[in-house]
Structure 1
Amino acid sequence: MEHEVAYRFKATQSRPVKRRRVLPGGLQTSWATRKRAYDELWPAQRNRIQTALDHVNHETVDGVSHFAFQAQDVRRSGKVPVALVITGSSITSWTSFLGSLSDRLTSSRANLVVSLRSGESPNLKTLLRVLIAKASAGGDSGNEDETLLHHNTGRLLNYDLQLLEDLLRERATENVVIAFEESETFDGALLSDTINLISSWVDRIPFMIIFSVATTLENLQHRISRGSLRHTEGRTFSIAPASEVLELALDIAVRGDSIPLWVGCSVSNMIMARQKDYFQCTDLLIDSLQYAYMSHFYANPLSIFLLEDLQYAAVPRDHFEALRNLGSFRRHVESILEIENGADVVRALLESDERLFQYARDGVSRARALVKGLVAAVHLLHTLRSHVPRLDHITLSSLYIRGLAGELNLSPPVRELLLSIKMVPSNVLPRLLEEVLRHSSNNSDLALVELQQRLKTLTSCRTAPLRSHHDTHGETIRTTIVAQKVELSKQKSRISEDDSAYSEIVDQFHDYLERHFMRTFLRPENIFMHEIVIYDLKSPHRDVFMPRPRFAIERALSLPHDYLDCSCCHPTAGGSNLENTLSASQPATSILYQLYMESGPLINVADLWLAFDAVVGGTNNQEAAVMTQFQRALAELRYLGMIRPSRRKADHVTKVSWKGL
């Protein structure tokens, strides 16, 4: 076969069909129903999040698009139109923005958007070549791989802008938008030469430049020559930081009337901490939420109770036994026994599946209502803190995590807000009342509406803001000398009738908020059926989104039975001693790895072969097959980076890694 270019292998027998369990039993009998629930609930949730993210930079996209459509006026003056987009430190914001802008501009074939990176444009000639190649790839003509392209007047090099001019004339292109991604990574001289060259072609090719600025505009201006800056005329735009986009995505994912499942405090904390420690990306956040939904519906049989149209006949009997073993169900039953006639209710729930079904459906509905109220209260707390002056900013995600952990009731953020509300002037309180009414489940709350009307009547004829008696501006310091000692005391000045009436309104609003937070900031683990509406298992997320490949490889090689689950690889297969883990039935790479772990930093290959042959064994006729296994296992260890050839001795290999280090 050495003389043949390729060899086609034809199997003599067909591959056996993989056996599948056709009739699942036990708790897995509801798999089809849970799969249907996931297919119905998660796509709707993902569409809600994606729709909100598409409108994050809507104003910036509109501004840049409008600037591009009016760029012809700038080009008539002989200058290059430049859009300076301040992106911040995260490149993910720029990627989503550029995608939305490209969709907006390229909806008409009169616009062409080309994105350039510093890695593919080290010099001006290469930059022009990449620019022309990408512009040609957007149409039907042109070949990116040719070094010389034919032209009707002669032969042109593939970095000649005359090629681009001819191409755009055929397509009737009105704008050629060149987007420099991460402009700080481009060489300043290259940017200056590019601007100078583009300015000389701007009367023939409708160029427009977009710079993504991660630092400051002054830094970009210092890197470009003054002569090049004279050829440009630009406008500044800004896009939403990645941190704000992540907060918005999490808010959309947990707040709303149609939220079927909430992510618990442990998983949410791990997701947001990973975003802060590594990189901020909305796609990774959406993937994490999707994996939470998959883990809940695929692994939790009781997730079928999240279906709105679930019928009693569709629930297997084993699921009712699982319901009765829930921790929240047991605590709820114990609380029922303390009330009158509670024993009859408990007996019915333990003996009748049909009664338990309806009771569980009602419990899930109440649990969803309570968690929904908790999340709404968290959002209200965050909104009110943003409207009250002199309060530290706390992110919505951190408040949400603390809320689902049951740590917000009488917590410092709540106490600070309630104390600050007592001292807010009358020009701030109306906004707080409007926010509370907007977040209230019953927008016609009579108590709040009455307070709003009283405040409006009280402040209608006043220009100066009213202050409550809790405000420190109404206090004076009184100094008294007694027995040659100075005593300082605070004394409140007398307040007017309007201030007194305003103080009464403030006190009533304070008491209303305090009762509202006390009622809504519950501990989720005390909610009946919280295991169905809240997913809070960290281990699946940690294994998937923070994998440990080295640990997994070392465990697979040292304990192959844990992965293969076969009797031949069991530690006792090689003998009666439990410590004897070497066996000829184990994979060759696993055997060689265990011998490798017992060796020193410099390993003699001949000694390693003798030890391997002693474990694997075999007759003289099988020595060639055993040598083949040994060589393949040695090559695999080298591929994994565990050994390398020794420079000191040709027949030795160097040990590179140690287990657990």
Structure 2
Amino acid sequence: MTTSSVSKGCFVFKPSAKKKKVSLTEADYFNEGLKDPEDGRTRFESCQLLWQQMKLQTEQLQEELNRKLFDNLISFLKKSHLDFHDKRNGWSCRARSSEIPTAALLLGVNVTDHELTFESLSEILNDQVTPFVVLLQAKECTGIKQLLQKLLSQLMGCSADLDLDEEEDHATVSQRKMNCSMASLCGWYQKVTKKSISPKKKRSSSPGHWQAPPVVVVFKDLESFSANVLQEFIVISSRYIKELPLVLVFGIATSPMIIHRLLSHSVTSLLCIELFQSLSCTEHLATVVDKLLLSNSFPFKLGGKVLQVLITIFLYHDFSVQNFIKGLQLSVVEHFYSEPLSVLCCDLPEMRNRVKTLSHNQCENIRHLASFMSYVENQTPEIQVKLLTKDSYLKEITQTFLENLHSYHENFIPVLRCLHQFTCILPKYPLGKQIRELYCACLEKKVWETEDYISALQFLGMLAKDELVATLQKCVEVLKPYSTKQLGSTLKKLEEFLVQFQCLEGEHLENVDDEESAAQKGLQKKIDLYNLQKTLLEMKETRRTKKPSRFESLRLEVTDFLNSLVRDYLAPPETQPLYEVVYFRAANILRKHLNALPRIALHTALNNPSSYLKSLESEGGALTSTAPDICIAYKLHLECGRLINLYDWLEAFATVVNTNDDSDSDSLQPVDEITHARFIRAVSELELLGFVKPSKQKTDHVARLTWGGC
């Protein structure tokens, strides 16, 4: 029988086969947005391999730079630990006076880098000193109760590494639930340490731990802690210092004086403070630039403007070396993502293999490079035809160009270091005090054509002998690793200069001419004005025609030789064909990502919402009812003065919103509740963004806080 209603039927729908979700990898996201997807996988793998190598180098640098600081800190902990446990003469003087060993760790204003330093410190202490390391932050310790809870929770978490039986483990859990006090902490510490050193049990802690390890409490951001919380904690801890080997570490970003500003004299007298200074962030940056950018270990290079953007952000925003490294990582990713020929940005042996397998499209990409086109223009017509038509010939030339680019970098860096050795000792530092400033100048243009370089040569022509010889010796040390390469002849020439300067040790560098001395004697006798003028002119002419000494001649030869080196080896990268393969020069993209301009972004979003909302059609800045309410209110407020009448603003808003509604075409009709609510919400959002604020002059007005379009 047929059913008269759908509700009386029974329908069966077989479930369709579910498609398995394919998880996208990083390489898939990388290849998805490529303009030229050819060799996308190879480019991603090359990018990943290169950054892993650079990241490993930065981590090794971080360890080397912090090694001295951490060694001194561990030595301090060991000394305080031995003082605490000296049982031959009873309690030590420190224990009797209830002083808490405290390390004031001055890390600098680069707060974003402190987290990595504390993580490394915690790992080293856990490996070599003690498993009881507590890291505290001010936002987690608003009161003394919260501080003690955080302290005990982290310490009892550390006890999981020790070999405890079930009863003790149960006691630990009950302590965690019952109360958080220093007395319970001392009892817990005694049980844990006795159990860990018991001869019946094998020690499960690290072999580097001491027999009775101290409890290290690290205050990451001392400036942010409440003074009352710190004082209460120190006073309470000093009463238990004979039972608990407590050591405090203060992480300080500004100055050690902050300790005396936060703590009273009676509280600071309970601390035995020792100051530890970390390496400055500028020295850290100089090391990173030297090992990563001024090195031939990595094929990737930064353009002059890109490097200047990263350094400017470092110097004028955060002093963060970690953010500088993140900017370098972004540059690597952007280069391999946006440049199709970055597939050739690899080691020299691998590059030769990849050049042989270039496709026709990649050859066309090479032909469109600006540096390659400038090279083609200077060739004969026959060579031009072969370069533009024959891929096999182009591959041979490409391999030659990349090999020449590799040789260019091998010579560029040593000569740059030699030039820096000369310019860093000059007064006023015409080419910069740091080598990164000189590096940027050499990357952007021909440095020998600048006024700063000309003035530097003039200063070099006036160097004293000891300064000149010392600088030459430093240059010899720089060029020694390159003695078997192209710069070997340069090294021999510098060594010859040193030998010649050594031969001048017995000679007088400055001699007074006999005629000059006679003229001076004549000046003492003759007082006639005409004869005086004549004698002075003769002395001036004698100085002009005076023959330079041997030292002055050698100094001039050194200056000329250095000038020739600069002109031969420090030409900007733009002079090298196919430099785009290894150089990232998109400074605007990097600045857009790292140095955002929020006001311009807000104005663009509110004035032209179609730039962010693709569903809207661009109206060229005109007021339309389809735009978001906040955009309509924002454009209307731009037409007002310092004070904005809310009623007039509401009327204008309702007129724009209801332009397409025929029933509301009469402007005399009252505004409906929905439009009123939309207006209130838009004004509240503008107030939250900081464009308007309530005015005390008139209750029905708001004050405008911005002027101009953006």
TM normalised by structure 2 equals 0.72
Q: In structure 2, what is the Cα distance between the partners aligned to 1:404 and 1:365? A: 19
* Aligned residue runs from structure 1 range 123-272, under 5 A: 127-140=147-160, 158=179, 160-172=181-193, 174-183=213-222, 195-214=234-253, 220=259, 231-272=270-311
Secondary structure of 1:370 counterpart: helix
Instruction: Answer yes or no: is 1:321 the counterpart of 2:391.
Output: no
Instruction: Answer yes or no: is 1:84 the counterpart of 2:104.
Output: yes
* Aligned residue runs from structure 1 range 40-51, under 5 A: 40-51=49-60
Q: In structure 1, what is the Cα distance between the partners aligned to 2:371 and 2:240? A: 73
Q: Is the 8 A contact 2:376 2:384 kept in 1?
A: yes
> Given the alignment, which residue of 118, 127, 142 partners 1:98?
118
Q: In structure 1, what is the Cα distance between the partners aligned to 2:277 and 2:215? A: 21
Q: 1:112: which partner in 2?
A: 132
The alpha carbon displacement at 1:270 in A equals: 1.5
Q: In structure 2, what is the Cα distance between the partners aligned to 1:154 and 1:332? A: 78
Q: In structure 2, what is the Cα distance between the partners aligned to 1:137 and 1:594? A: 57
Q: Is the 8 A contact 1:423 1:467 kept in 2?
A: no
Identity in percent: 19
The structure with more helix, counted as a fraction of residues: 2
Q: 1:374: which partner in 2?
A: 412
Secondary structure of 1:547 counterpart: coil
Q: 2:83: which partner in 1?
A: 74
Q: 2:343: which partner in 1?
A: 304
Matched letter for residue 247 of structure 2: M
Change (3 A) 1:127 1:504: same
The alpha carbon displacement at 1:434 in A equals: 3.5
Q: In structure 2, what is the Cα distance between the partners aligned to 1:53 and 1:475? A: 59
Instruction: Answer yes or no: is 1:355 the counterpart of 2:393.
Output: yes
Q: In structure 1, what is the Cα distance between the partners aligned to 2:74 and 2:490? A: 48
Matched letter for residue 603 of structure 1: L
Structure 2 residue runs of 5 or longer lacking an equivalent are 1-17, 87-91, 162-169, 194-211, 665-671
1:66-106 deviations in Å (ceiling 9; x for gaps): 22133222324224333333334433554443322211001
Secondary structure of 1:424 counterpart: helix
The alpha carbon displacement at 1:165 in A equals: 1.4
Q: In structure 1, what is the Cα distance between the partners aligned to 2:239 and 2:511? A: 66
Question: 294-303 or 477-486: which moved more?
Answer: 477-486
Secondary structure of 1:178 counterpart: strand
Matched letter for residue 82 of structure 1: T
Q: Is the 8 A contact 2:310 2:327 kept in 1?
A: yes
Q: Is the 8 A contact 2:105 2:276 kept in 1?
A: yes
Q: In structure 2, what is the Cα distance between the partners aligned to 1:318 and 1:557? A: 42
Q: In structure 1, what is the Cα distance between the partners aligned to 2:356 and 2:632? A: 53
Q: In structure 1, what is the Cα distance between the partners aligned to 2:459 and 2:483? A: 21
Instruction: Answer yes or no: is 1:602 the counterpart of 2:645.
Output: yes
Q: In structure 2, what is the Cα distance between the partners aligned to 1:155 and 1:51? A: 39
Q: In structure 2, what is the Cα distance between the partners aligned to 1:154 and 1:547? A: 50
Q: Is the 8 A contact 1:378 1:400 kept in 2?
A: yes
Secondary structure of 1:259 counterpart: coil
Q: Is the 8 A contact 2:77 2:247 kept in 1?
A: yes
Instruction: Answer yes or no: is 1:437 the counterpart of 2:476.
Output: no
Q: 1:282: which partner in 2?
A: 321
Change (3 A) 1:95 1:491: farther
Structure 1 residue runs of 5 or longer lacking an equivalent are 1-13, 142-148, 337-341, 572-577, 621-625
Q: 1:57: which partner in 2?
A: 66
Secondary structure of 1:211 counterpart: strand
The alpha carbon displacement at 1:519 in A equals: 1.4
Q: 1:448: which partner in 2?
A: 491
* Aligned residue runs from structure 1 range 413-424, under 5 A: 414-415=456-457, 418-419=460-461, 423-424=465-466
Instruction: Answer yes or no: is 1:39 the counterpart of 2:48.
Output: yes
Q: Is the 8 A contact 2:371 2:576 kept in 1?
A: yes
Q: Is the 8 A contact 2:405 2:576 kept in 1?
A: yes
Q: In structure 2, what is the Cα distance between the partners aligned to 1:598 and 1:510? A: 65
The alpha carbon displacement at 1:565 in A equals: 4.6
Q: Is the 8 A contact 1:467 1:503 kept in 2?
A: no
1:4-37 deviations in Å (ceiling 9; x for gaps): xxxxxxxxxx99x999999999734343332232
Instruction: Answer yes or no: is 1:545 the counterpart of 2:594.
Output: yes
Question: 596-605 or 195-204: which moved more?
Answer: 596-605
Secondary structure of 2:659 counterpart: helix
Change (3 A) 1:284 1:426: closer
Question: 30-39 or 122-131: which moved more?
Answer: 122-131
The alpha carbon displacement at 1:332 in A equals: 1.0
Q: Is the 8 A contact 2:106 2:252 kept in 1?
A: yes
Q: Is the 8 A contact 1:188 1:224 kept in 2?
A: yes
Change (3 A) 1:188 1:643: closer
Matched letter for residue 569 of structure 1: E
Instruction: Answer yes or no: is 1:335 the counterpart of 2:378.
Output: yes
Question: 244-253 or 420-429: which moved more?
Answer: 420-429
Change (3 A) 1:327 1:441: farther
Change (3 A) 1:647 1:266: same
Q: Is the 8 A contact 2:625 2:657 kept in 1?
A: no
Q: Is the 8 A contact 1:84 1:211 kept in 2?
A: yes
The alpha carbon displacement at 1:532 in A equals: 2.1
1:308-360 deviations in Å (ceiling 9; x for gaps): 35545754433333322322122212222xxxxx3322211011122213322
Change (3 A) 1:348 1:242: same
1:171-230 deviations in Å (ceiling 9; x for gaps): 436112233445456677876665554343222111122334556657756876666566
Q: 1:611: which partner in 2?
A: 655
When the two chains are superposed, the root-mean-square deviation of aligned CA atoms in Å is 4.7
Change (3 A) 1:118 1:420: farther
Q: 1:11: which partner in 2?
A: none
Change (3 A) 1:23 1:162: closer
The structure with more strand, counted as a fraction of residues: 1
Q: Is the 8 A contact 2:34 2:338 kept in 1?
A: no
The size of the alignment, in residue pairs, is: 611
Q: Is the 8 A contact 1:245 1:282 kept in 2?
A: yes
Question: 400-409 or 289-298: which moved more?
Answer: 400-409
> Given the alignment, which residue of 320, 331, 339 partners 1:292?
331
1:584-606 deviations in Å (ceiling 9; x for gaps): 55556545654565567223376
The alpha carbon displacement at 1:394 in A equals: 0.3
Secondary structure of 1:82 counterpart: strand
Matched letter for residue 363 of structure 1: F
Q: In structure 1, what is the Cα distance between the partners aligned to 2:292 and 2:579? A: 18
Change (3 A) 1:202 1:537: same
Instruction: Answer yes or no: is 1:345 the counterpart of 2:393.
Output: no
Question: 552-561 or 533-542: which moved more?
Answer: 552-561
Matched letter for residue 190 of structure 2: R
* Aligned residue runs from structure 1 range 447-466, under 5 A: 448-449=491-492, 452=495, 455=498, 466=505
Instruction: Answer yes or no: is 1:273 the counterpart of 2:312.
Output: yes
